[in-house]
Amino acid sequence: MRGRMRQVEPMGLISPKVIGRLSLYRRVLHELVAGGQSHVFSHELARLAGVTAAQVRRDVMAVGYSGSPVRGYEIASLIESIAAMLDAGQGDSVALVGLGNLGRAVLDYLGGRRSKMRLAAAFDVDPAKVNRVVHSVRCYPMEELASVVESQAIASAVVTVPASAAQEVSDRLVSAGVRGILNFAPARLRVPEGVFVEDVDMAMALEKVAYFSRQVTSPERAMRT
Amino acid sequence: MRGRMRQVEPMGLISPKVIGRLSLYRRVLHELVAGGQSHVFSHELARLAGVTAAQVRRDVMAVGYSGSPVRGYEIASLIESIAAMLDAGQGDSVALVGLGNLGRAVLDYLGGRRSKMRLAAAFDVDPAKVNRVVHSVRCYPMEELASVVESQAIASAVVTVPASAAQEVSDRLVSAGVRGILNFAPARLRVPEGVFVEDVDMAMALEKVAYFSRQVTSPERAMRT
DNA sequence: TAGATTGTTAATCGATTAACAATC
DNA sequence: TAGATTGTTAATCGATTAACAATC
């Protein structure tokens, strides 16, 4: 049973790596659309995304989209298929905890993107920040975390508090119903089974860069995962 | 030839993943030292770092350090061994390009850490930012990038410019002698063989979190690599 | 010593790559 | 059609895990 062309399975669980690459492909595809291109071959997309053509083919297969051996992938449809996989039905609401320098930068960066995701609320312990509105996101006191998260059905959160506070914040988010955390604090969060944590550890990343910049032969560039 | 206890090889090339974990171990070890602890077993360190004990043993082996079956690893010596691997002899100089919100936040975050690394110079196109000093880091105009990087022997750089400018900045850094780049711009940089690039893609990371926060069963938490 | 832990190899696992029939 | 590309399986590769003799 090989070489059958049509494949219909919508696929079940997809690995974090593949999800990351799909996000990358979508960004590249949007650029191609902006350039007036309507179709793309796996090797073109692969080159632009910095991956192999075989990976592109396998990943595209995973979203349940099929291309044509002659014209390749139709960009508009492929974007739709990826969006169906990555975006929630009515848009996700995201909370941000910790409005320090990093928190504001993240808010700035993520707030300014065309995206189905919506930064719905921010939280901070500092009374001076509470009730202020930054980039049209209101800052609530930490005491209201549970009620706001629950009432707005927030399922994802970004944590930009100091390492010493990260675990407690994580616990509160999880018990309020959050199921995914983007963690910028240099601390390993302990979360219950079923809660997804993605760590962004800038200090570690910089140490990696410093280490390999000293080596005569670097390993191939690592894919962000 | 198995079960021999002493191992002396200093090890050659180490993978980015292992380097990342070593950085993580060091952070945890410093916390243990601060708590007055002098020795640690692989399973303790593993629990605190969120990895397996087998990984700790293999990674520690890679830095050329040996523990004792009775007392485990002596923390102070292990920190020294990891430092010998991760830190440069006389301290690395790092450049930062792009002093927008994200750039300032990164400068803020990385500048405030006890580290052998030194943020030596910042660069920006905006004349209003040039020649100002932020966190004791001077901001130079882009025109002086090559001369400053060369004169200060800067080998690593952090890129926090918009995606549209990232490739050009990368090219200029590399031709000035930079061999490792921490890239925050949502763009894939093309660099010559031997130059290491670590991407920090916040938008992708958030999309991953949003995706898995919608799944009933999340995969185990991904290690930052 | 007895026993838990280490260093180190072998087995396992997952992801990537190579290969190729089916296709337009 | 001829030929380049796709969907999909098999082979390869690397990293993780399991296992165990050597050790204090």
| Protein residue minimizing CA–C1' distance to C14 | A15
Percent of chain B with pLDDT over 90: 76
Name B128's Cβ contacts closer than 8 Å, sequence gap at least 6: none
Return the residue in A156, A182, A213, A218 with the most chain B beta carbons within 10 A, the one to mutate for interface testing: A213
How many Å apart are CA B28 and CA A188, to the nearest integer?
A: 10
How many Å apart are CA B85 and CA B64, to the nearest integer?
A: 9
CA(B72)–C1'(D18) in Å? 21
CB distance B31 to A220 below 8 Å: no
Residue A221 and residue B197: Cβ atoms within 8 Å?
yes
A146-157 per-residue burial string, b: 16 or more CB within 10 A, e: under 16: eebbeeeebbbb
Residue A24 and residue B204: Cβ atoms within 8 Å?
yes
Q: Kindly state the helix (H) or strand (E) to which residue A205 belongs, with its residue range.
A: helix A202-214
What type of residue is A126?
D
Q: How far is CA A115 from CA A76, A151, A183, B110, B199, in A?
A: 17, 22, 20, 29, 21
B146-197: per-residue pLDDT in tens?
999 999 999 999 999 999 999 999 999 999 999 999 999 999 999 998 899 9
Interfacial A residues in 132-171 facing B (CB < 8 Å): 155-156, 158
Q: Is the pLDDT of residue A190 over 50?
A: yes
Q: Which residues of B touch A219 (CB under 8 A)?
A: 13, 15-16, 196
What type of residue is B160?
T
How many Å apart are CA A144 and CA B193, to the nearest integer?
A: 51
Nucleotide nearest residue A7, measured CA to C1': D7
Residue A117, classed as helix, strand or coil, is coil
Interfacial A residues in 22-51 facing B (CB < 8 Å): 23-24, 27, 48-50
pLDDT band for position A205 (50/70/90)?
Answer: very high
Name A162's Cβ contacts closer than 8 Å, sequence gap at least 6: A98, A100, A185
Q: Which residues of B touch A113 (CB under 8 A)?
A: 203
How many Å apart are CA A15 and CA A32, to the nearest integer?
A: 26
Residue A200 and residue B198: Cβ atoms within 8 Å?
no
The residues of chain B scoring below 50 in pLDDT are 1-11, 220-225
Nucleotide nearest residue B54, measured CA to C1': D17
| Protein residue minimizing CA–C1' distance to D18 | B54
CA(B224)–C1'(D22) in Å? 34
Residue B223, classed as helix, strand or coil, is coil
What is the dihedral sign for C-alpha B78, B60, B42, A193?
A: positive
Q: Which residue has the tokens 């010596």?
A: B77
B102 touches chain A (CB under 8 A): yes
Average pLDDT, chain A: 89
A11 touches chain B (CB under 8 A): no
DSSP string for residues in B37-71: --EE-HHHHHHHHTS-HHHHHHHHHHTT---BTTT
How many Å apart are CA B222 and CA A199, to the nearest integer?
A: 8
A72-102: per-residue pLDDT in tens?
999 999 999 999 999 977 778 999 999 998 9
Residue B108 and residue A101: Cβ atoms within 8 Å?
yes
Q: Is the pLDDT of residue A142 over 80?
A: yes
